Structure 1
Amino acid sequence: MTDTAKKFSFKRYFKETKAELKKVSWPSRKEVLQHTEVVLISIIIIGLALWLVDLAFGKVLSIFLTK
């Protein structure tokens, strides 16, 4: 039998998963907070920009529809 055709084993799966998680470079609390801050600020800025574009298109559309 080839390696890819071996029978699935939960024990082996969790053992290999645990070994892989030990190799992960986890971010510090400070890094997580900084990245979260960047994401939230980006969402707010993009949300405001989309709201302004929607508002502008709404005004232009209402001008065309009232004529």
Structure 2
Amino acid sequence: MVEKKKIEKPVTKPNTNRKKVTFKEWWTKTVKFFKDVRIEMKKVVWPSQKQVIKHTIVVLTFTLFFTVFILLADVIYEQLIFKFLLKIR
């Protein structure tokens, strides 16, 4: 008979080399992060109010169109399934 060999997985030790971060170090890193965020936000090119309104109208129009399209497709498929395939109603 063929014996099944146990495959031993290597034991991984938890990472004990991590240095504990003091509150002061954490605070300086946090302050630096928010300063960097502020600098990057100044570089952003924001759209004008006219562009925002235009794009909002486009999104709402497409949403309305696809909502109606899916509603009509659902009604048509429901009628096809119930009337022709299941012969109910």
> What SS does structure 2 have at the residue aligned with 1:27?
coil
Is residue 2:85 matched to residue 1:55?
A: no
The CA deviation at 1:45 is: 0.2
Equivalences for residues 1-67 of structure 1 within 5 A: 9-63=29-83, 64-66=85-87
The CA deviation at 1:17 is: 0.1
Question: Between the two proteins, what is the percent identity of the paired residues?
Answer: 31
Higher relative contact order by CA 8 Å / sep ≥ 6: 1 or 2?
A: 2
User: Runs (4+) of structure 1 moved beyond 4 Å?
Assistant: none
Structure 2 spans left out of the alignment, 5+ residues = 1-24
Scaled by the length of structure 1, the TM-score of the pair is 0.84
Per-residue Cα deviation, 1:10-58 (whole angstroms, up to 9, x for no partner): 1000000000000000000010000000000000000010001101100
Q: How many residues align?
A: 61
RMSD: 1.3
Larger Rg: 2
Point out the structure with the larger helix share.
1
